[in-house]
Amino acid sequence: MSIGRGNSILASEITPEHVYLNRRQFMATAGLLAGGLAFGDFSSRQAFPLAGPRPQGDDKLTPWKDVTGYNNFYEFGTGKGDPKENAHTLRPHPWSVEIVGEVGKPGTYDFDDLIRPFTIEERVYRHRCVEGWSMVIPWMGFPLKDLIARLEPTSRAKYVEFVTLLDPEQMPGQRRRILEWPYVEGLRLDEAMNPLTLMVTGVYGKPLPNQNGAPLRLHVPWKYGFKSGKSLVRIRFRETQPQTTWNLAAPREYGFYANVNPHVDHPRWSQKRERRIGELFPRDTEIFNGYGDQVAYLYEGMDLRVHF
Ligand SMILES: Nc1nc2c(c(=O)[nH]1)N[C@H]1C(S)=C(S)[C@@H](COP(=O)(O)O)O[C@H]1N2
Ligand SMILES: [Mo]
Protein backbone atom coordinates (compact mmCIF):
# COMPACT_ATOMS: atom_id res chain seq x y z
CA MET A 1 0.00 0.00 0.00
CA SER A 2 2.46 2.63 1.05
CA ILE A 3 4.79 1.76 -1.80
CA GLY A 4 1.92 2.13 -4.25
CA ARG A 5 0.99 5.49 -2.86
CA GLY A 6 4.59 6.58 -3.07
CA ASN A 7 4.68 5.63 -6.74
CA SER A 8 1.55 7.63 -7.44
CA ILE A 9 3.16 10.74 -6.01
CA LEU A 10 6.09 10.32 -8.36
CA ALA A 11 3.64 9.74 -11.17
CA SER A 12 2.05 13.10 -10.48
CA GLU A 13 5.34 14.80 -11.12
CA ILE A 14 6.27 13.13 -14.37
CA THR A 15 3.05 12.27 -16.22
CA PRO A 16 0.33 14.35 -17.86
CA GLU A 17 -2.50 15.14 -15.52
CA HIS A 18 -5.06 12.77 -17.01
CA VAL A 19 -2.74 9.83 -16.77
CA TYR A 20 -1.95 10.81 -13.24
CA LEU A 21 -5.62 11.05 -12.30
CA ASN A 22 -6.25 7.62 -13.74
CA ARG A 23 -3.38 6.24 -11.76
CA ARG A 24 -4.80 7.82 -8.64
CA GLN A 25 -8.17 6.23 -9.35
CA PHE A 26 -6.46 2.93 -9.86
CA MET A 27 -4.56 3.25 -6.63
CA ALA A 28 -7.75 4.20 -4.83
CA THR A 29 -9.50 1.15 -6.21
CA ALA A 30 -6.56 -1.03 -5.27
CA GLY A 31 -6.81 0.41 -1.78
CA LEU A 32 -10.49 -0.49 -1.58
CA LEU A 33 -9.80 -4.01 -2.79
CA ALA A 34 -7.03 -4.42 -0.27
CA GLY A 35 -9.71 -3.78 2.31
CA GLY A 36 -8.89 -3.17 5.89
CA LEU A 37 -5.13 -3.38 5.49
CA ALA A 38 -2.51 -0.86 6.48
CA PHE A 39 -3.75 2.68 6.62
CA GLY A 40 -2.23 4.15 9.72
CA ASP A 41 1.48 4.00 9.16
CA PHE A 42 2.10 6.36 6.26
CA SER A 43 -0.50 8.94 7.12
CA SER A 44 1.57 11.41 9.04
CA ARG A 45 4.78 11.40 7.08
CA GLN A 46 3.97 11.49 3.37
CA ALA A 47 3.05 14.68 1.59
CA PHE A 48 0.29 14.26 -0.99
CA PRO A 49 -0.62 16.24 -4.06
CA LEU A 50 -3.87 18.12 -3.53
CA ALA A 51 -6.54 18.83 -6.07
CA GLY A 52 -5.78 22.52 -5.69
CA PRO A 53 -2.60 24.58 -5.67
CA ARG A 54 -0.38 24.18 -2.64
CA PRO A 55 0.87 27.60 -1.65
CA GLN A 56 2.14 26.30 1.66
CA GLY A 57 3.88 23.35 0.14
CA ASP A 58 3.70 20.79 2.89
CA ASP A 59 0.21 19.44 3.35
CA LYS A 60 0.67 16.12 5.07
CA LEU A 61 -2.24 13.79 5.53
CA THR A 62 -3.91 14.10 8.91
CA PRO A 63 -3.62 10.72 10.62
CA TRP A 64 -6.58 8.33 10.54
CA LYS A 65 -7.02 8.53 14.28
CA ASP A 66 -7.62 12.29 14.11
CA VAL A 67 -9.76 12.20 10.97
CA THR A 68 -12.02 9.64 12.64
CA GLY A 69 -11.60 10.63 16.29
CA TYR A 70 -11.81 14.44 16.31
CA ASN A 71 -15.14 15.29 14.74
CA ASN A 72 -18.06 17.66 14.62
CA PHE A 73 -21.35 15.76 14.37
CA TYR A 74 -23.73 17.30 16.89
CA GLU A 75 -26.28 14.53 16.34
CA PHE A 76 -23.92 12.46 18.50
CA GLY A 77 -22.82 15.11 20.99
CA THR A 78 -20.93 18.39 20.94
CA GLY A 79 -17.52 17.13 22.16
CA LYS A 80 -14.87 16.34 19.55
CA GLY A 81 -14.62 12.76 20.84
CA ASP A 82 -18.38 12.21 21.12
CA PRO A 83 -19.12 11.20 17.50
CA LYS A 84 -16.53 8.42 17.55
CA GLU A 85 -17.81 7.17 20.87
CA ASN A 86 -21.54 7.45 20.13
CA ALA A 87 -22.09 7.05 16.38
CA HIS A 88 -22.32 3.25 16.56
CA THR A 89 -26.11 3.70 16.89
CA LEU A 90 -26.29 4.95 13.29
CA ARG A 91 -27.31 2.24 10.81
CA PRO A 92 -25.95 3.33 7.41
CA HIS A 93 -27.00 0.15 5.56
CA PRO A 94 -29.47 -0.15 3.99
CA TRP A 95 -29.85 3.55 3.27
CA SER A 96 -31.92 5.55 0.85
CA VAL A 97 -31.65 9.06 -0.50
CA GLU A 98 -34.62 11.11 -1.70
CA ILE A 99 -34.13 13.35 -4.70
CA VAL A 100 -36.82 16.04 -4.70
CA GLY A 101 -37.78 19.44 -6.04
CA GLU A 102 -36.80 21.07 -9.33
CA VAL A 103 -35.36 17.97 -10.93
CA GLY A 104 -36.22 15.73 -13.85
CA LYS A 105 -35.45 12.44 -12.10
CA PRO A 106 -36.95 12.73 -8.62
CA GLY A 107 -37.36 9.63 -6.51
CA THR A 108 -36.19 7.57 -3.59
CA TYR A 109 -32.94 5.88 -4.50
CA ASP A 110 -31.24 3.06 -2.68
CA PHE A 111 -27.76 4.28 -1.73
CA ASP A 112 -26.01 1.50 -3.66
CA ASP A 113 -28.05 2.24 -6.79
CA LEU A 114 -27.43 5.96 -6.44
CA ILE A 115 -23.64 5.65 -6.39
CA ARG A 116 -23.25 2.67 -8.74
CA PRO A 117 -22.74 4.71 -11.94
CA PHE A 118 -19.77 6.59 -10.53
CA THR A 119 -16.10 5.76 -10.25
CA ILE A 120 -14.98 6.23 -6.68
CA GLU A 121 -11.73 8.18 -6.69
CA GLU A 122 -9.44 9.42 -3.96
CA ARG A 123 -9.30 13.18 -3.41
CA VAL A 124 -6.96 14.70 -0.86
CA TYR A 125 -8.66 17.88 0.40
CA ARG A 126 -7.92 20.50 2.99
CA HIS A 127 -10.73 20.72 5.52
CA ARG A 128 -11.06 23.97 7.51
CA CYS A 129 -13.51 24.20 10.38
CA VAL A 130 -14.96 27.62 11.21
CA GLU A 131 -13.68 26.99 14.75
CA GLY A 132 -10.09 27.43 13.57
CA TRP A 133 -8.71 23.92 13.15
CA SER A 134 -7.93 22.16 9.91
CA MET A 135 -7.02 18.77 8.52
CA VAL A 136 -5.86 17.21 5.23
CA ILE A 137 -8.08 14.27 4.40
CA PRO A 138 -7.87 11.57 1.71
CA TRP A 139 -11.57 11.29 0.92
CA MET A 140 -13.05 8.67 -1.40
CA GLY A 141 -15.93 9.79 -3.54
CA PHE A 142 -17.13 11.26 -6.82
CA PRO A 143 -17.89 14.79 -8.03
CA LEU A 144 -21.38 15.94 -7.12
CA LYS A 145 -21.65 17.46 -10.61
CA ASP A 146 -21.74 13.97 -12.13
CA LEU A 147 -24.70 13.01 -9.95
CA ILE A 148 -26.46 16.30 -10.67
CA ALA A 149 -26.02 15.79 -14.41
CA ARG A 150 -27.79 12.42 -14.19
CA LEU A 151 -30.63 13.82 -12.10
CA GLU A 152 -31.38 16.53 -14.69
CA PRO A 153 -32.26 19.66 -12.71
CA THR A 154 -34.95 21.84 -14.28
CA SER A 155 -34.21 25.35 -15.55
CA ARG A 156 -35.74 26.69 -12.31
CA ALA A 157 -33.15 24.95 -10.09
CA LYS A 158 -30.78 27.57 -8.65
CA TYR A 159 -29.83 26.00 -5.31
CA VAL A 160 -29.28 22.55 -3.87
CA GLU A 161 -30.30 21.66 -0.31
CA PHE A 162 -28.72 18.76 1.61
CA VAL A 163 -30.62 17.18 4.50
CA THR A 164 -29.22 14.87 7.16
CA LEU A 165 -31.15 11.94 8.66
CA LEU A 166 -33.73 12.85 11.31
CA ASP A 167 -34.04 9.95 13.74
CA PRO A 168 -33.41 10.46 17.47
CA GLU A 169 -33.18 6.68 17.92
CA GLN A 170 -30.15 6.51 15.65
CA MET A 171 -28.95 10.03 16.47
CA PRO A 172 -29.47 10.52 20.20
CA GLY A 173 -28.09 14.06 20.10
CA GLN A 174 -31.29 15.06 18.30
CA ARG A 175 -33.16 14.67 21.60
CA ARG A 176 -31.45 17.88 22.68
CA ARG A 177 -32.47 21.05 20.94
CA ILE A 178 -28.99 22.48 20.42
CA LEU A 179 -29.77 22.98 16.74
CA GLU A 180 -32.89 22.71 14.61
CA TRP A 181 -33.02 19.12 13.36
CA PRO A 182 -32.51 17.76 10.84
CA TYR A 183 -29.23 19.43 9.94
CA VAL A 184 -29.68 21.25 6.62
CA GLU A 185 -27.08 22.82 4.40
CA GLY A 186 -27.13 24.22 0.90
CA LEU A 187 -25.14 25.45 -2.07
CA ARG A 188 -25.85 27.56 -5.10
CA LEU A 189 -26.23 25.23 -8.09
CA ASP A 190 -23.04 26.53 -9.71
CA GLU A 191 -21.12 25.86 -6.49
CA ALA A 192 -22.58 22.37 -6.40
CA MET A 193 -21.51 21.88 -10.03
CA ASN A 194 -17.89 22.95 -9.40
CA PRO A 195 -15.60 19.98 -10.06
CA LEU A 196 -14.14 20.22 -6.54
CA THR A 197 -17.46 19.62 -4.79
CA LEU A 198 -17.34 16.01 -3.68
CA MET A 199 -19.92 13.41 -2.67
CA VAL A 200 -17.94 11.47 -0.12
CA THR A 201 -18.43 7.76 0.45
CA GLY A 202 -15.16 6.84 2.14
CA VAL A 203 -11.87 7.94 3.64
CA TYR A 204 -8.39 6.39 3.69
CA GLY A 205 -9.55 3.79 1.16
CA LYS A 206 -12.35 2.49 3.38
CA PRO A 207 -16.08 3.15 3.59
CA LEU A 208 -16.94 6.19 5.71
CA PRO A 209 -16.96 5.57 9.43
CA ASN A 210 -20.26 6.59 11.01
CA GLN A 211 -18.69 9.55 12.78
CA ASN A 212 -17.60 11.02 9.45
CA GLY A 213 -21.12 10.91 8.01
CA ALA A 214 -21.76 7.40 6.70
CA PRO A 215 -22.81 6.36 4.20
CA LEU A 216 -22.87 9.61 2.21
CA ARG A 217 -21.70 13.14 3.02
CA LEU A 218 -20.58 16.19 1.18
CA HIS A 219 -17.24 17.96 1.23
CA VAL A 220 -16.85 21.46 -0.20
CA PRO A 221 -13.17 22.14 0.43
CA TRP A 222 -13.12 25.92 -0.09
CA LYS A 223 -15.86 26.45 2.50
CA TYR A 224 -15.93 26.08 6.25
CA GLY A 225 -16.61 22.51 7.32
CA PHE A 226 -20.17 23.14 8.47
CA LYS A 227 -21.30 23.47 4.83
CA SER A 228 -20.50 19.78 4.36
CA GLY A 229 -23.53 17.91 5.68
CA LYS A 230 -23.22 14.32 6.86
CA SER A 231 -25.37 11.18 6.57
CA LEU A 232 -27.54 12.71 3.85
CA VAL A 233 -31.04 11.38 3.23
CA ARG A 234 -32.42 14.09 0.94
CA ILE A 235 -31.14 16.32 -1.83
CA ARG A 236 -33.56 19.01 -2.90
CA PHE A 237 -33.21 21.18 -6.00
CA ARG A 238 -34.72 24.60 -5.35
CA GLU A 239 -35.45 27.91 -6.97
CA THR A 240 -34.80 29.79 -3.72
CA GLN A 241 -31.91 29.81 -1.26
CA PRO A 242 -32.42 27.19 1.47
CA GLN A 243 -32.61 28.03 5.16
CA THR A 244 -29.53 26.40 6.60
CA THR A 245 -29.09 25.13 10.14
CA TRP A 246 -26.16 27.28 11.24
CA ASN A 247 -27.49 30.36 9.50
CA LEU A 248 -30.79 29.90 11.39
CA ALA A 249 -28.95 29.35 14.68
CA ALA A 250 -26.72 32.45 14.43
CA PRO A 251 -27.18 34.48 11.24
CA ARG A 252 -24.54 37.07 12.15
CA GLU A 253 -21.94 34.36 12.67
CA TYR A 254 -22.61 31.82 9.94
CA GLY A 255 -23.52 33.11 6.52
CA PHE A 256 -24.92 31.07 3.66
CA TYR A 257 -21.69 31.25 1.65
CA ALA A 258 -19.20 30.45 4.43
CA ASN A 259 -16.23 30.64 2.10
CA VAL A 260 -12.95 30.27 3.97
CA ASN A 261 -11.71 33.86 4.18
CA PRO A 262 -8.92 35.15 6.42
CA HIS A 263 -10.08 38.73 5.78
CA VAL A 264 -13.54 38.25 7.27
CA ASP A 265 -13.41 37.38 10.95
CA HIS A 266 -16.05 35.50 12.83
CA PRO A 267 -17.71 38.05 15.18
CA ARG A 268 -16.18 36.27 18.16
CA TRP A 269 -12.74 35.28 16.83
CA SER A 270 -10.18 35.87 14.08
CA GLN A 271 -10.11 33.68 10.97
CA LYS A 272 -6.60 34.77 9.95
CA ARG A 273 -4.90 31.63 11.17
CA GLU A 274 -5.67 27.98 11.75
CA ARG A 275 -4.30 25.10 13.75
CA ARG A 276 -3.58 22.14 11.51
CA ILE A 277 -4.38 19.12 13.67
CA GLY A 278 -1.07 17.51 14.63
CA GLU A 279 1.01 20.68 14.17
CA LEU A 280 2.42 22.83 16.92
CA PHE A 281 2.36 26.27 15.33
CA PRO A 282 -0.62 27.94 13.69
CA ARG A 283 -0.47 28.56 9.97
CA ASP A 284 -2.00 31.33 7.90
CA THR A 285 -5.45 30.62 6.54
CA GLU A 286 -5.74 31.14 2.79
CA ILE A 287 -8.59 32.71 0.90
CA PHE A 288 -10.94 29.97 -0.35
CA ASN A 289 -8.79 27.58 1.69
CA GLY A 290 -6.16 27.74 -1.08
CA TYR A 291 -8.56 26.72 -3.89
CA GLY A 292 -9.06 30.23 -5.29
CA ASP A 293 -7.78 29.35 -8.77
CA GLN A 294 -10.64 26.90 -9.09
CA VAL A 295 -13.48 28.71 -7.35
CA ALA A 296 -12.92 32.49 -7.31
CA TYR A 297 -14.93 32.87 -10.55
CA LEU A 298 -18.06 31.85 -8.64
CA TYR A 299 -17.95 35.04 -6.60
CA GLU A 300 -16.87 37.66 -9.12
CA GLY A 301 -18.58 40.96 -8.40
CA MET A 302 -19.81 39.82 -4.98
CA ASP A 303 -18.80 41.60 -1.78
CA LEU A 304 -17.54 38.73 0.36
CA ARG A 305 -17.94 40.83 3.51
CA VAL A 306 -21.65 41.03 2.83
CA HIS A 307 -22.00 37.51 1.47
CA PHE A 308 -19.87 35.86 4.16
N1 LIG B 1 -25.26 16.44 10.04
C2 LIG B 1 -24.18 17.12 10.40
N3 LIG B 1 -23.25 17.45 9.47
C4 LIG B 1 -22.14 18.14 9.83
C5 LIG B 1 -21.96 18.58 11.17
C6 LIG B 1 -22.96 18.22 12.14
O7 LIG B 1 -22.88 18.56 13.33
N8 LIG B 1 -24.04 17.50 11.71
N9 LIG B 1 -20.84 19.32 11.50
C10 LIG B 1 -20.18 20.05 10.40
C11 LIG B 1 -18.91 20.63 10.80
S12 LIG B 1 -18.94 22.02 11.77
C13 LIG B 1 -17.72 20.14 10.35
S14 LIG B 1 -16.25 20.92 10.70
C15 LIG B 1 -17.66 18.89 9.57
C16 LIG B 1 -16.77 17.89 10.28
O17 LIG B 1 -16.55 16.77 9.47
P18 LIG B 1 -15.56 15.63 9.99
O19 LIG B 1 -15.96 15.31 11.41
O20 LIG B 1 -15.73 14.47 9.07
O21 LIG B 1 -14.17 16.20 9.97
O22 LIG B 1 -18.94 18.28 9.41
C23 LIG B 1 -20.00 19.17 9.17
N24 LIG B 1 -21.21 18.42 8.88
MO1 LIG C 1 -16.85 22.98 11.64
Q: pLDDT tens digits, residue range 259-305?
A: 999 999 999 999 999 999 999 999 999 999 999 999 999 999 999 99
Query: 121-128 and 133-143: which strand pairing?
Result: antiparallel
- Tell me if 3 sits within 8 A of 43, measured CB to CB: no
CATH 3.30.10.20 given to domain 5-124+136-257: no
Output the CA 290–ligand 1 centroid distance in Å: 20
- Tell me if 159 sits within 8 A of 242, measured CB to CB: yes
Closest CA to 240 of 301, 302, 185, 160: 160
CB-CB neighbours of 80 under 10 Å? 16
Query: 133-143 and 198-203: which strand pairing?
Result: antiparallel
Output the CA 129–ligand 1 centroid distance in Å: 9
C-beta of 139 in contact with ligand 1 (< 6 A)? no
> What pTM value is reported for the model?
0.85
Residue among 68, 230, 275 to mutate when testing ligand 1 (max atoms within 8 A of CB): 230
Dist. CA 164–CA 14, nearest whole Å? 42
pLDDT in tens, 31-67: 444 443 333 333 333 444 455 444 456 899 999 999 9
Query: 184-188 and 217-219: which strand pairing?
Result: unpaired
C-beta of 145 in contact with ligand 1 (< 6 A)? no
pLDDT in tens, 185-235: 999 999 999 999 999 999 999 999 999 999 999 999 999 999 999 999 999
Angle of helix 2-14 versus helix 17-34 axis, rounded to 10: 170
**pLDDT in the model for residue 137:** 98
C-beta of 244 in contact with ligand 1 (< 6 A)? no
Q: Which whole number is the average pLDDT over 165-173?
A: 98
C-beta of 20 in contact with ligand 1 (< 6 A)? no
- Domain locations in the chain as residue ranges: 5-124+136-257
Atom 1, ligand 1: residue with shortest CA distance: 230
Output the CA 15–ligand 1 centroid distance in Å: 36
Q: Which whole number is the average pLDDT over 69-86?
A: 98
